[in-house]
């Protein structure tokens, strides 16, 4: 999938499950994808609803070509994971491990991500639905 096909505004709905604390929360907001040089910039903004509180959240990621394939990078330039919709990906983060899956509907109107995080610091599941405006 050509990441430039993601350009536009998307509604963001994320479910956050913290299995260690037996807590659940959600993020509602928006993803704005813009062309940025040889790749695209993904800017999330929204509100985390967690344990009775509401907290503003933001995140910026970059999709860039690397060695003949697309990679997701953190906004500071560190590699996160290969961009392979439909195929599992793994990202070690300190002592924790993120195992993820990105799925894009054929018509390009819905994008879903699933992350299972396991390790000494975290035991979480993050399920996100992005719907094109």
DSSP secondary-structure letter at 84?
-
Give tens-digit pLDDT for 37-87. Answer: 999 999 999 999 999 999 999 999 999 999 999 999 999 999 999 999 999
Q: Does the pLDDT at position 1 exceed 80?
A: no
Domain boundaries, the chain: 3-132
Edge-to-edge order in the sheet of strand 8-18: 79-82, 69-74, 53-66, 39-50, 23-36, 8-18, 123-132, 110-118, 96-104, 89-93
Token pair 């509401």 is found at: 54
| Whole-structure pTM value | 0.93
- Which class is 3-132 in CATH? mainly beta
Q: Answer for the pair 29, 57: CB distance below 8 angstroms, yes or no.
A: yes
- What is the pLDDT averaged over residues 103-118? 95
């Amino acid at each position: 999938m050509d990441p430039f096909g993601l350009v536009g505004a998307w509604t963001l709905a994320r479910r956050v499950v913290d299995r260690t604390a037996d807590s659940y929360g959600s993020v509602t907001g928006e993803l704005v994808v813009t062309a940025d040089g040889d790749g695209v910039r993904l800017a999330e903004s929204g509100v985390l609803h967690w344990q009775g509180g509401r907290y503003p959240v933001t995140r910026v990621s970059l999709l860039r070509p690397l060695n003949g394939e697309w990679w997701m990078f953190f906004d500071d330039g560190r590699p996160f994971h290969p961009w392979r919709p439909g195929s599992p990906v793994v990202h070690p983060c300190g002592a924790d491990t993120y195992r993820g899956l990105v799925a894009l509907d054929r018509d390009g109107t819905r994008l879903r991500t699933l992350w299972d995080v396991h390790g000494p610091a975290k035991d979480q599941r993050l399920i996100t639905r992005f719907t094109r405006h």
